[in-house]
Structure formats: structure tokens, C-alpha cells
Structure 1
Amino acid sequence: MNLALTVLEIVAPVFLLAAVGFAWVKMGFEYRVQFVTQMAMTLSVPCLIFVSLMQTEIDPGALTALSAAAIVGYGALTVVMWLITRTSGLETRTYTAPLIFGNTGNLGLPLALFAFGETGLGYAVVVFAIMAIWSFTYGIWLVSGGGSLLKVLKEPLVAATLLGGLFLWQGWETPTFLTNTLKLTGQMAIPLMLITLGVAVARLTPGRVGQAAILSFVKVCICAGIGWAVGAWFGLDRTAFAVLVLQLATPVAVTSYLLAEKYGADSDAVAGLVVASTLMSVVALPVLLAVLL
């Protein structure tokens, strides 16, 4: 009973905030997803990442181990999901990226924070940053044939990760007034991303729902399994292990739909994956948390 209550206390704020966004749209209120997403990804999320890394009390060696584990994990996921799409006859440019990349920002960061505190958030931003770099390169190349390393280097969240890592490594701190400003700005990120997730799901028109449900189940099982195997192989500590598994097992990101729509892939099919996997995560993520806590 205590475990169930603990899991509920962790996941309830996440899904309630997403429900706020969903209800907001259904009531006919305006919500400019592009503006909010741009503000989150260029301002609040980079601030959140930088401050989290700068102030984390995690041993740099542990962060290095998690970084290596995340790279191996996403590498393994890339190979497995590419093989699945190729052997099952699914269109590679439509399905592979959504099956690889989860919603490590909108869902992964708040889950890690609520479940494991600031330490968990520090671990989660590392996995999120690695996923983002791989998504901005291989993910875009996969959907459009036009991924660019230069584009990655221009992303504020990549710069924030590198700078935060440098401050952590050197033991530097920004002046208190600046730290407080950056921290306050970063605190916008999690509620903004969760509400935006609900808004995006409310506006999607899902296609091939039955197929999407099957693929979503396959995705969460494979992602959690790979995260578990890689975390054990690297001998990660309990919190880092749990964060890695949770981050890899997050549902299909809304950005996968936006990329599919932008570059002419089957966006309706991807929308089905987003909706199906997000709904499935309402059950899957609490179950994973119960096992990992």
C-alpha cells in the first residue's frame, strides 16, 4: 500500500498537468504550441540543465558512467528498432525515429525529479541531452536525409549541457543573483512541457490506432529491457540505473510527429504512436517505478 501511494504521489502531478493542457484545448482556449515549445527549448530547459548540472552533488565519475551507458543504450535501441522496421515491412523514415526516441524531456525530467529529487534530475538531464543530440543528427537525417552536426552545435540545450558539465568538473558557481535568475527561469520548464504535452495530444489526429498500440507495447518492453541490461552492465548506482531505465522507456515524443509532418513522412501514423504510447505510459511508467523504487 505504501509503495502504491508513493508511486501515485510521483506520477499524479505529471499526468495531472498534462491533463490540464488537454482540457485547456478541449475548452477552446488558445495555446500557441510553437511559441511555448521554442521558449522552453531555447530558454527554460537550457537554464534547468545548466543549473542542475552546476549544483549537482553527484560524483563526476558517476555522470560519466551514465553518459556512456546512455550512449550505448541509444546505440542498441537504434540497431534494434531499425531491424524491427526493416523486417516487419514498416516505412523506415516514418517509424524508426519514433520508436527510438522517447519523451525524455516532457515526461522523463519531471518523473526523475519527483521520484529521485535533485540527484535524479541531474542524472536525467544527461540522458535527455544525449538523446537530443542523437535526435538532432541521426533522427533528422532518418526522417529527412538532412541531419547536420552544425545544427546540433547551435542548440542552446547542448551548449547548456557542455557548460554545466564544465562548471561541475571545475567546481565553479555563478554569482548568487545569476544562479537564482537561471534557477527561476529553469523552473518554468517542467510545468510548461507537461501542459504542452497535453495540448499536443489533444490536437493530434491519430491513425492506425491498432498498429500503434502494438508498436507502443513493443517499444516500452524493448526500451525498458535495453535500459535494464545496459544499466546492469555498466554497474550504475541505484538512482542512475532507475533514471536510465525510465528515460529510455518514455513514450514517443511529440517532436517525432512534428518532424514527420515537416519532412513529409506519415504524420498520422506517428500521431497514432504518440497518443497510444502516451496513454500506455499511464500504466507502464507507474509499474516501472514500482519495480525500480
Structure 2
Amino acid sequence: MGQFGVMIGQLVGFLIMLMVGYGCVRLRFYGKVALDGMCSLLLNVLIPVLVFSNAVDGTNRAQLFANRGVMLLTAIMYGLLILAFAIVARLLRLHGSRSHIFQASLIFGNAGFIGIPLVMALFAHEGAIYVALMSLVDQALLWTYGVWLCEPVSDHEHLAPHRTNPFASLRDDLLNLAKRFVNPAFIGVMIALALILLGIRVPELILKPLHTIGGMATPMSLIYLGGLFALTRWWGVLKRYELYVGLVTKMIAFPLGFYALLTALAAVCPWLPVTHDMILMMTVIAGLPTMTTIAMFTGRKNNMPDYAVGFVLVSTLFSLVSLTIVSAVVF
């Protein structure tokens, strides 16, 4: 029950922060304008600094290559999640922004604010390097594919007229894809990777304040979400049938199936750079609740933010049960 205790401690702290944010908005200490400022600060400064400082802290080239299996497993996990929930969304007959945000909410787990504390607590020796390598893949996909999924899309986009110039269409698509890579978090990941590969160590004098700044991301994001709960009609998601199908699939069925697949793969291919601890860590990551950044992405575009916030809140509460079930099976 050690993992259960760790999760309870994290969720109690998160609940308190959510309540503070909710109370501040209800008491009118601040409102929508302040929340928009928090969102901008989180997306452009705090989260990128958090990712960068965690990635470069104590990580060298030898550790990077010795534990490269984490990056492989993270890529496999996201590939399967993207495929699985594209199929689930189609089977549930979801369309437009509702389909995209449903997929984003279940593909991207809260690795930053729940996953990192859990991994560090469960794997004291290798936790830091696991987090750094996982973040490289996780953040690269979140800030590209995740951003794209959270952009507004018409429910009838398939009825839109086709462009007469296919080369212009391809050019525009490539430019839009390139623009998604130009964001603070992805740039931070790439700089961190370059520094590690070049063997350049960030001095502790610089790293310490970066950790302090990045450490603000978790409480501020939860205070922001608490305020967003007060301003959005998030409870409408409880009437959506896809919520229940998605949560059970993502947070119980998928991690257990993923664990069985990785265990079998490691047995059949012993030459893979994968350890049992890596498999356990990725199983926990696979079952995490919705990433809070998804709600921020939809909020800044005013693209069904109540739907995304509802997924964040309900999945976080559900994780108390789902992570207990998963932990009881795999640990």
C-alpha cells in the first residue's frame, strides 16, 4: 500500500490548492483577467523552466544512453495511446472539437504534476533520469500534437471546400506544423537535450533558482484550475457517455494491457535496453489522469474549456481508485 499512500498524499495537496484557487475567484479576489495572465505565465515561463531544470539536473551522456529505453517505452506508449483513442473516438461517433479534446484529454496524462512526484518517490535512485528522458518525448508531443488537438475545429470540416492548389495546401500544412514546434516548452526540451549531449553542465548557481521558478508551476497550475472550475460549467461533462468509457479504458485497461505487452516484449527481446523498473514506471505514467495543460490550451482558445476542465477534475479524482487498482496488480 506504499504507492497508495504516496498517491493519497499528492491528491490531498492538489485538492487544497484547487480549493484555494476556487475560493479566490468565488471571493472575487481576482477574475478572468488574472486567470488569463496565470495561464500565459504557466505556458510561456513556469512549465518550460520546470521541464528544462528537471531534464538537465544531474543528467549526463552516459546516463542518457544507459537509460535510453525510457525514451523508447515512452514513444511506444504514446503511439499506442494515439492509435487507441483515435479508434475509440470514432467508435463513439465523436466529431470536431469534441473528438479532438476527448483524445487529447486521454492521450496526455499529468506527468508533470502527478507523475514526477510519484516517479521520484517510487524509484529513488533512477527516478530523476527516468523523468528527464520521459519529459523529452512527452513534452515534444504535448506541445505539438497536443496543441493541434486543442485547436478549434468544425464539426463539419469534411464538408469544407478543397483548395484548388494542392502544393499551396501542403506548404501551409508544413508551415503550421513547424510553428507548433516554436514554443517555449519544446525549445526548452531541445536546449536541455543539446546540453546533455555536448556534456555541458548547468552550474548549480543557475540551476537552483531555475528549480525554484519551475517549482511554482504545480501550485500555480492547480490554483489556476481551481479558479477555472469557478468560472466554467465543468459538471456538464458528467452527462457525456464518453467520459466513463474513456476513463476506464485509459486509466485501468490501457496501463494493465501496456504492462502485459511490455513484460512479454522484454521476455521475447532481452537485448532491448529495458529494465523491469522502467516497465513499472511507464505503467504508472500510462494510467495518469488528464494533463492540466490541456485545460489551459483549450482555455486560451475558448475551445470547450468546460469540457476539458471536467476531464481534468473527474480523472484526477478517479485516479485515486484507478492507480490503486493498477498498483495492486503490477507492484
Task: Give the structure-2-normalised TM-score.
Answer: 0.72
Q: Which amino acid in structure 2 is aligned with residue 213 of structure 1? A: Y
Secondary structure of the residue that 1:56 maps to in structure 2? coil
Counterpart residue type for residue 52 of structure 2:
F
Q: Which whole-Å CA distance do the structure 1 matches of 2:261 and 2:58 have between them?
A: 23
1:51 aligned to 17, 41, 53, which one? 53
Alignment of 1:64-79 (within 5 A): 64-79=68-83
Does the C-alpha gap of structure 1 residues 71 and 201 become closer, same or farther in structure 2, counting only changes over 3 Å? farther
How far off its partner does 1:281 sit?
1.9
Which has the larger displacement, 175-184 or 264-273? 264-273
Q: Which has the larger radius of gyration?
A: 2
Provide the C-alpha distance between the structure 1 equivalents of 2:198 and 2:148, rounded to a whole number of angstroms. Answer: 35
Instruction: Spell out, residue by residue over 1:183-234, the C-alpha distance to the aligned partner (whole angstroms, 9 max, x if none).
Output: 3222222332333343334443122414223432222124423542465336
Q: How does 1:218-229 map to 2 (within 5 A)?
A: 218-225=249-256, 227-229=258-260
Shift of 1:268: 4.3
Aligned to 2:209: 181
CA, structure 1 residues 292+38, in 2 after alignment: closer, same or farther (shift >3 Å)? Answer: farther
2 CA distance for matches of 1:115 and 1:199?
Answer: 31
Q: Does 2:322 match 1:284?
A: yes
Aligned to 1:105: 112
CA contact under 8 A between 1:252 and 1:274: conserved in structure 2? yes
Over 3 Å counting, the alpha-carbon distance change for 1:78 and 1:238 in structure 2 is same
Contact 1:231–1:241 (CA under 8 A) maintained in structure 2: yes
Identify the residue that residue 193 of structure 2 maps to in structure 1.
Answer: 165
Assess if the C-alpha contact under 8 Å between 2:152 and 2:301 holds in 1: yes
- Map residues 25-36 of structure 1 onto 2, 5 A cutoff: 25-30=25-30, 32-36=34-38
Q: Quick one: which of 232, 242, 246 aligns to 1:215?
A: 246
Counterpart contact for 1:107–1:194, Cα < 8 Å: no
CA distance in 2, matches of 1:121, 1:14: 22
* Residue of 45, 53, 65 corresponding to 1:61: 65
Which shifted more, 276-285 or 5-14? 5-14
1:90-169 pair list within 5 angstroms: 90-91=94-95, 92-117=99-124, 119-142=126-149, 143-144=151-152, 148-169=176-197
**Is the CA contact 2:143–2:185 (under 8 Å) kept in the aligned structure 1?**
no
Q: CA deviation at 1:250?
A: 1.9
Shift of 1:129: 4.2
Gaps of 5+ in 2: 154-172, 267-272
C-alpha change, 1:41 and 1:270, in structure 2 (3 Å) is closer
What is the 5 A alignment of 1:236-255? 236-255=274-293
Deviation (angstroms), 1:13: 3.2
SS of the equivalent of 1:172 reads coil
Q: In the alignment, residue 115 of structure 2 is paired with which amino acid?
A: G
Deviation of 1:83 after TM superposition, in Å, equals: 0.8
From the superposition, tell whether residues 35 and 127 of structure 1 become closer, same or farther in structure 2 (CA, over 3 Å): farther
CA change 1:39–1:67 in 2 (3 A) is same
CA displacement at 1:70 relative to structure 2: 1.0
Gap change, CA 1:89 and 1:29, over 3 Å in 2? same
Query: How far apart are residue 90 of structure 1 and its match?
Result: 1.9
Q: Distance in 1 between matches of 2:301 and 2:89?
A: 19
Report SS of the residue matched to 2:289.
Answer: coil
Given that 1:85 and 1:95 are in contact with CA atoms closer than 8 Å, whether structure 2 keeps it comes out as yes
Aligned length: 293
Query: What is the deviation of 1:9?
Result: 4.0
- What one-letter code is carried by the residue in structure 2 that aligns with 1:52? N
When structure 1 is superposed on structure 2, of 6-15 and 47-56 the one drifting more is: 6-15
Once the two structures are superposed, what CA deviation does each residue of 1:120-160 show, in whole Å capped at 9, x if it has no partner? 24423443442333233333444446793323432222222
TM-score (norm 1): 0.80
Give the match's secondary structure for 1:250.
Answer: coil
Paired with 2:51 and 2:182, the residues of 1 have a C-alpha distance of: 16
Q: Percent identity?
A: 22
